[in-house]
Amino acid sequence: MKQNFTRNLYDENEKIWHSNKSGTFYSHIRNNTISKELYLILMSEIYKYVLRNPINQAAACINIPNHVNRNAMLRYILKHSTEELGHEQMIVRDLKSINILDMSKLEEPALPATEALIGYLESVPHRYGATARLGYSFWAEDAYDHIREVTTKIRGDLSLNDSNMTFFVAHEKIDKHHSAQVVDAINQFCVTPEDRAQILTVARTTLYLTGKMLDGVAENYLSAA
């Protein structure tokens, strides 16, 4: 049952990734050179939700289902939340390394889809509980095969190396370990049909909103061009 659920979750995520890759953002980067201006908008929006991830992860502590081992779940949440701290500073360093850092861009209000993603993630612990947030972690910690097309294009079009892309390079290494931990956590903590339904809902919604965030980045760039 556990393996069947994670396989179904993976299959659902693949469908949404397929849809996301038919959107405005992926279409644009496949047919155009990625400029520094587009890259700055993209990383600015990523900065805004990455900044909040340790917070909404830690907030999951407030609503742990009664059927879950509370101490084990708390240890998992707080450890993972701590490990997410400061990742937005990699973005700052990466942008600074190619002389396009603009803190005002990073600090301005998020684009609508990014704001929706941030707000939804912050609502999950209150609405569904700690286990449900694992639906976001499941795909977010295992997204690099899907975003490699983007990172490869950025690297080539902007002539970047690993030292200019520490956010992506470091996360790809870190998240391979995190991904296995998330699957273990789902198998350990998500044991009821309700748990699994909520995880699936959160996975679908957050991945859908991420696709809309990427499309919003492209649309914002094109509207200013």
Given this model, what pLDDT does residue 4 score? Answer: 86
Burial of 4 per CB tally in 10 Å (0-12, 13-18, 19+): exposed
CATH of 2-224, one of 3.40.50.720, 3.10.180.10, 1.20.910.10, 3.30.420.10: 1.20.910.10
What is the average pLDDT across 21-36? 97
What share of the chain in percent tops pLDDT 70?
A: 96
The type of residue at 82 is T
What is the SS3 assignment for 59? helix
Amino acid at 92: V
Q: For the residues 110-116, what does the mean pLDDT come to? A: 98
Judge whether residue 59 has pLDDT over 80: yes
156-185 tens-digit pLDDT: 999 999 999 999 988 776 656 678 889 999
- How do residues 60-109 score in pLDDT, each as one tens digit? 999 999 999 999 999 999 999 998 899 999 999 999 999 999 999 999 99
Query: In angstroms, rounded to a whole number, what is the distance separating the alpha carbons of residues 168 and 84?
Result: 14
Instruction: For residues 24 and 220, give the distance between their C-alpha atoms in angstroms, rounded to a whole number.
Output: 11
Predicted TM-score (pTM) above 0.85: yes
